[in-house]
Amino acid sequence: MHQFQPYPIELLELNPFTKISSEWMLIAAGGKEKTNAMTASWGGLGVLWGKNVAFIFVRENRYTKEFIDKEEYFSCNFFEKKYLNDLKYFGVVSGRLEDKFKTSGLNVDYKENIPYVDESNFIFLCKKMAAVPITEAHFLLPEIKEKWYSGKDDGNLHTLYVGEITDVLAR
Ligand SMILES: Cc1cc2nc3c(=O)[nH]c(=O)nc-3n(C[C@H](O)[C@H](O)[C@H](O)COP(=O)(O)O)c2cc1C
């Protein structure tokens, strides 16, 4: 088990564009009885309703969504490059079919009841503030539906979750 320190958010120097889109993250949600996680490369960091927030976008069919919806918190976990294969695995296999924490080299740990990934080197714990299902009526450009919602995930639109970043953990 690794030791994490609280990290002051005002000292953050990370680039959210490269961090999220190229390095990816694992979104973990659940509790001590059961936790699931999935890879994500869409999302953002910012300020809303007077809070520092993370935005994530989760399609309807993701098993992780059930855990996010049920619990008060989710976590965004970032990794060194050597964990790329684990991130790929968490991004193609569903926790409905395999317990991904049992079959991978990654382990889940908890701050109080909030799950995070122990091998991560940087974590946001996020308290849900809003869950906004994005519907086709929200698209202002036709190519969004064509490009992102016409393949095998057709019909599984995204829900936007806004989470207040309550803790930044680093090691
Ligand atoms: C690089 C990468 C990025 C991904 N980004 C997202 C994302 O932002 N939102 C999403 O809903 N799914 C995303 N996925 C797909 C999920 O990670 C994938 O469907 C996963 O198997 C879901 O697992 P679950 O059913 O256990 O939740 C991504 C997959 C990969 C490989």
Name the residue ranges covered by the structural domains of the chain.
5-170
Residue 68 has pLDDT above 90, yes or no: yes
Is the full-model pTM beyond 0.95?
yes
Residue-wise pLDDT for 19-63, tens only, equals 999 999 999 999 999 999 999 999 999 999 999 999 999 999 999
93, two tokens: 């296999």
Report the C-alpha gap between 24 and 87 in whole angstroms.
8
Measured in Å, residue 92 CA sits from the centre of ligand 1 at: 7
For residue 134, which of 156, 159, 155, 153 has the smallest C-alpha distance? 159
User: What fold is seen in the domain 5-170?
Assistant: Pnp Oxidase; Chain A (2.30.110)
Residue-wise pLDDT for 126-149, tens only, equals 999 999 999 999 999 999 999 999
For residue 158, which of 122, 139, 129, 134 has the smallest C-alpha distance? 134
Measured in Å, residue 52 CA sits from the centre of ligand 1 at: 24
